[in-house]
Structure 1
């Protein structure tokens, strides 16, 4: 379980409480961008489109991605996972960007390559590695086994084709929807503050940074939230939000698939604040993406409590509160769209003396994970009490360090000092991604730099400073986004690296990795500002198609108990429920991985209206839970509905939908329904 270190209200700056989710929510939403803000925004000349699609994978028996805990396997569904895409086009130059926020733990080269391949089958060269940005929200509550690099698939016990296909197909569908939705739009940027969105989980490492850096973050976190709002005909139709906090509200003993706090914020925005269709007949799309959360935990905040699902909701609502309040101050992005990108082989990278801080050139080395990586972040679940690994704060791992000194050649170990090297993964082909993508995009006056790392807040600050200086703008005009188009663990400042907390042990290319990224970002910024283009390079091949498929959690044959059929009710709900109570029913089920029902639902809450029934909630609703348990070839499905506080009184029922698999492999859909019950 997560070991929380509460940050008290007295330790936080004096910020007003946000009440946009109260009775005045819809009125506040309608007034987000007033006439003055819209008038300022009528200058972009850009076109924008948005789309959303389901990427939910295997919700039963799949090893989960994030905590690297072998016995954490999926057993049901809390919140569906989505891909939210925005395509922005500059008609005057033909430049375009597809920016996608995906409710998954990490983004991999394997996913990007297959997405681009399918897009090019449909659109030719319109979309490519340079203008498709796939960012992960970093939820730790989804199925793993989707990487083309072997190390990341180990805890899923191999590759999982069904989940990989769900993610790729959903991402492509969302981009196609955004492409088809392109229309003249005005883009506005707004910046605000999220109150109690997280706390610094490695304060000793953060304290090593210079006073000038620490002064920017008095509480060790970056509280800023940024929106890129899409406006059509005076109406807000979509938004991309960036805020730095980890997707770890749900702990390592959770086994329900969920999009965690950022997915919760997005669903609330799309269903509670902006329900229904926009004026153009399309639904509102709200992407809540990541910025630089490397040393920020959502579990170090006030009022979280012991219920992880309540904690997820609370941190999600806080992010939405901050985003909504900031939207009222939107300012035009201006005109133009441009991008530069580059693939860089970091193990052979030489960092120029002007970036190192040592007065001399410094080398990186092949990827190596430290013993403190195996310890995990104590505040977000740790590596498990049964593992003899510790962050430096708790004594470090001197024995591992001595072993590493023997195993790793000195010329490769030196760039990693003072890391206790545990896993020199970069010395094994295909184990970990080492040729990495970096992008710099200009949308009007907003600069977006993306990388495949989990950057600490101070690492993000130094990147913003460098890019702003190179292009001649303010730091506030630069947004850093991690977890994009690949994954290569963390990036800390050199000072933080020396502490060798979890983040430093996971900074895989050594002490000067951040200076290397600053150099790359500066070179991209200089190219973009001057109009110069250089060879962007390309990724190295990964092991997609060669990693063995996971042998566990795969559907075989479904059997109903004697005297029962699929969909039968085993446990009926009570006769009536009050608001905030949980209605529960258990059904004869089948393995949900037989048919993933992507874009559909495994359950429904229905209300009787006269002689007909209407759906009021599905498994994509924040008030529903779906849990499975198995005994041999038999499966039970437990449907739960937490009756919302404002639910209309009436007669309701719970329904469950599944697909049973015969020995021949043929699947047959079925459905079950409870007897009616009352909500008083």
Structure 2
């Protein structure tokens, strides 16, 4: 997460303002086959006037939809009845409030089948979605508090996705393929990477992680799902963007689901493709100037380029996947208080025991990253104390001297873990899922490639022969910033300054996840000595919400202000504007704000919606309660010639507070060959 204009956000924000662990099992024998299921749910949040999460810029608020956000779920059950569920959600990160509420609703529906041990919720890390779905102050600053509609959209969509996957369980197989992809990421923190020992650097030629792993899900020999893991940030869309977008990984999913398998909006879920993250902490999709700029000067084109690279390579691996995962399905999880982990010498560079610290963000956190720079107050890697930031941090967020000493060489700006309640989470969820010979290690941070590799090595050393394949899935179940190696931390670039629990954060993750690996291998239970707190008192928002919608004089809701031209060639962009209501009146989850329709005899057939990547829906407040919906559709190269129209669906809030739906349609226009 970037820190652009963090100081102003903090000032405004300050003024405005448990499931039981799964039973252990020692059964490591092969189970009789798998049942597999896939599902998808719409998690699109408020499309207008809500702060976006990722770049920490309070001026970046939603004003429409470039693509809807989705949660995609994959469930595997073995012959002994053990289940694991993996979810990839197109949001910046998962919050503990989301995790806890999803588990609560799943347990109400399925009992003890799904718990905090065997359900993992991960994020693709798009920086172009609405925020406000955490109970921790730091993560809600750009939205000026908690946004209940965004939270509900995410939670209910994830639950629908898992529910669809569970209810659709059928005998099937999971196959795995591994390969590499070059040209879809660069290291945006080279000086920090180069501060690692030569042996670590040698494992990543070019300072990038090119590894890609693809899981192929089949039911009765029929492919039903693809789950891809690859490390690159969700920052192809820039801080200048105001449209909800699933960024490059969302576009990759679209290319597979729609482009390869022909799954349109009406049949979503028939095939599910998810593009999940691994250790993407220092991996940027912006290939120029060390991660500062994308392949081109067009952010939409950059999203398509990086998304297509991932989709094309994933499809190749999907088609070549022949190794079948066999054996037990299992899981281990535990909550750990990362503010005070005693780290053994075997996990530290000097071989000595050390400890983690209460969470804190360094002064260089405000510098931002190359693909999301902050204000020109400090520069990455500057180890001198900035008096302005020191004073600001002392005033708004005092940090005890012992925490400052523990966090050295970080110059603390905000002692986020030293407040009551903390501004960022301290008690973090860790998990390892097993599907036959595959282990999926999960943690709630943005691991750099070397920090991630050290975790993988520590887990692999303890798994023994239990798993021959391992994936590290970051951004899982909660969020606590970055995870760097101690050597990277020492330089205090953005990633190190945003490593919350001090110099030994990475070694602590390696140690605690290695303990879970031992328990998974030996069949021992992993009870948690601590549980994350619920903080309902932090569910406060100062945003007024929608007051009233009014059409301009002589117009009604749904009236067309700008009609399309008479005809368009393929590749051209159709534009139409409508009188509309505020989109936050109804998020239209599992629905749409627009339809592009083709005339088919006497009927109209929908060919695209706001879930498509050929459309954009922009909302604009004209004055007071008057607003317009600006809808654009780029005619695909394969569009059938004929007569078309654009339909807009909206909802308007009246004087009494009642909300009523409306629709409007343009005149017909022709698409020519």
TM-score, structure 2 normalization: 0.91
Query: Residues of 2 paired with 1:183 and 1:474: CA distance?
Result: 25
Query: Residues of 2 paired with 1:454 and 1:621: CA distance?
Result: 29
Are the aligned partners of 2:124 and 2:277 in contact in 1 as well (CA < 8 Å)? yes
Query: Residues of 1 paired with 2:294 and 2:41: CA distance?
Result: 33
Distance 1:455 1:574, change over 3 A: same
Residue equivalent to 2:37: 49
Count of residues paired in the alignment: 632
Which secondary structure state, in structure 2, belongs to the residue aligned with residue 170 of structure 1? helix
Pairing of 1:231-310 with structure 2 (within 5 A): 231-276=218-263, 283-300=270-287, 304-310=295-301
Query: Residues of 2 paired with 1:64 and 1:570: CA distance?
Result: 29
Whether 1:198 and 2:185 are equivalent positions in the alignment is yes
Pairing of 1:448-459 with structure 2 (within 5 A): 448-459=440-451
Deviations 1:282-316 (A, max 9, x none): 60001111111000111126972111011111111
Are the aligned partners of 1:247 and 1:260 in contact in 2 as well (CA < 8 Å)? yes
Are the aligned partners of 2:596 and 2:646 in contact in 1 as well (CA < 8 Å)? yes
Give the Å deviation of 1:476: 6.7
Pairing of 1:172-571 with structure 2 (within 5 A): 172-276=159-263, 283-300=270-287, 304-330=295-321, 331-377=323-369, 379-385=370-376, 388-392=377-381, 397-399=385-387, 408-430=399-421, 431-473=423-465, 477-552=469-544, 554-571=545-562
Are the aligned partners of 2:171 and 2:220 in contact in 1 as well (CA < 8 Å)? no
Are the aligned partners of 1:85 and 1:175 in contact in 2 as well (CA < 8 Å)? yes
Query: Residues of 2 paired with 1:77 and 1:190: CA distance?
Result: 34
Give the Å deviation of 1:399: 3.7
Are the aligned partners of 2:136 and 2:538 in contact in 1 as well (CA < 8 Å)? no
Give the Å deviation of 1:79: 0.5
Residue equivalent to 2:660: 668
Residue equivalent to 2:11: none
Give the Å deviation of 1:44: 6.7
Query: Residues of 2 paired with 1:105 and 1:574: CA distance?
Result: 38
Residue equivalent to 1:6: none
Deviations 1:380-412 (A, max 9, x none): 121134xx13211x6765546876899644432
Are the aligned partners of 1:195 and 1:322 in contact in 2 as well (CA < 8 Å)? no
Query: Residues of 1 paired with 2:74 and 2:447: CA distance?
Result: 24
27, 39, 53: which one pairs with 1:65? Answer: 53
Q: Which runs of 5+ in 1 are unaligned?
A: 3-41
Give the Å deviation of 1:263: 0.9
Are the aligned partners of 2:66 and 2:610 in contact in 1 as well (CA < 8 Å)? yes
Give the Å deviation of 1:664: 1.3
Question: CA RMSD for the aligned pairs?
Answer: 2.1
Are the aligned partners of 2:36 and 2:218 in contact in 1 as well (CA < 8 Å)? no
Query: Residues of 2 paired with 1:588 and 1:44: CA distance?
Result: 59
Deviations 1:76-105 (A, max 9, x none): 00010001011111122x221111111111
Distance 1:409 1:299, change over 3 A: same
Are the aligned partners of 2:619 and 2:629 in contact in 1 as well (CA < 8 Å)? yes
Give the Å deviation of 1:520: 0.4
Are the aligned partners of 2:349 and 2:486 in contact in 1 as well (CA < 8 Å)? no
Whether 1:580 and 2:571 are equivalent positions in the alignment is yes
Are the aligned partners of 1:194 and 1:321 in contact in 2 as well (CA < 8 Å)? no
Q: Which runs of 5+ in 2 are unaligned?
A: 3-29
Which secondary structure state, in structure 2, belongs to the residue aligned with residue 124 of structure 1? helix
Which secondary structure state, in structure 1, belongs to the residue aligned with residue 73 of structure 2? strand
Which secondary structure state, in structure 1, belongs to the residue aligned with residue 618 of structure 2? strand
Which secondary structure state, in structure 2, belongs to the residue aligned with residue 304 of structure 1? coil
Residue equivalent to 1:151: 138
Pairing of 1:130-141 with structure 2 (within 5 A): 130-141=117-128
Give the Å deviation of 1:574: 1.1
Are the aligned partners of 1:401 and 1:420 in contact in 2 as well (CA < 8 Å)? no
571, 585, 590: which one pairs with 1:594? Answer: 585
Deviations 1:350-392 (A, max 9, x none): 1112211223211111000011111110x2121134xx13211
Are the aligned partners of 2:451 and 2:483 in contact in 1 as well (CA < 8 Å)? yes
Deviations 1:11-67 (A, max 9, x none): xxxxxxxxxxxxxxxxxxxxxxxxxxxxxxx99711111110100010001111011
121, 125, 132: which one pairs with 2:108? Answer: 121
Distance 1:436 1:411, change over 3 A: same
Residue equivalent to 1:83: 71
Whether 1:621 and 2:612 are equivalent positions in the alignment is yes
